[in-house]
Amino acid sequence: MACAEATEPSTLDIELVWSPQAGTVHHASLKVQVGCTVIQALQACPAFADQLPRLPLLKIGVWGRLRPLDTCLRERDRIEVYRPLTVDPKEARRLRYRNRGERIVSRHRPLAGKTSK
């Protein structure tokens, strides 16, 4: 029985995610040519065109890891565009505490010495 040769696809399916302002997240699915770089994918997305002038201020990642703009993309990559923080995370926590008036307990870390046997 002969195996059929797998032909390489000429396009890649890519997802682009960005948040132009707090509380707003945009998603775009793109089909790009094999060998496409991050910057080429960003320029190929019409919905992202208004963000291109801000590109030097933004950080770009693929699947949560910062990557340079000349990174070649692979099938089903997710490009994430990170905007600068507007407030220091520690300061934001202090403000929430001041407004709520109670201690904020993280659900991800157990309280030390509070385990029962």
C-alpha span between 33 and 109 (Å, rounded): 44
Give the CATH number of domain 11-84; options: 1.10.10.10, 3.10.20.30, 3.90.320.10, 1.10.760.10: 3.10.20.30
**Cα atoms in the Cβ-side hemisphere of radius 13 Å centred on 77:** 24
Residue 3 confidence class, pLDDT cut points 50, 70, 90: very low
Give the start-to-end residue ranges of the domains of the chain.
11-84
Asked if residue 117 has pLDDT above 80, the reply is no
Residue 68 confidence class, pLDDT cut points 50, 70, 90: very high
Q: Is the model more confident about 105 or about 116?
A: 105
The model carries a pTM of: 0.69
Burial of 3 (0-12, 13-18, 19+ CB in 10 A): exposed
